[in-house]
Amino acid sequence: MSFSLGLTAIVNIVLTLAGIALCWWALQSVKFDLFLSNPQGVQAKVLIIILSIVLGHGITRFLSDYAGWSQMLTQLF
């Protein structure tokens, strides 16, 4: 049981980091200079990092929940 929980934790950590990296990569194509006064500044970089974390966590959470719900469907039949 504890091995299963540990394995689930490792999978969730790796998926979360991959989701954050994917969102960071995708956000690189957004033209923030249209919205920010100093798009090359530290504050703009921090904003991109925060957006990457929030979006990556949300995507990963959705995928994790979806996988869990899919496994629960087997209990229906």
- Residue found under tokens 């979360």: 16
The count of structural domains within the chain is 1
Give the pLDDT confidence of 33-75 residue by residue, as tens digits. Answer: 888 888 889 999 999 999 999 999 999 999 999 988 998 998 8
Model confidence, pTM:
0.82
| pLDDT on residue 27 | 93
Residue-range definition of the domain harbouring residue 36: 2-75
Residue 64's Cβ-count burial label (10 Å; 0-12, 13-18, 19+) is: middle
Tell me the torsion sign for CA atoms 22, 27, 28, 30.
positive
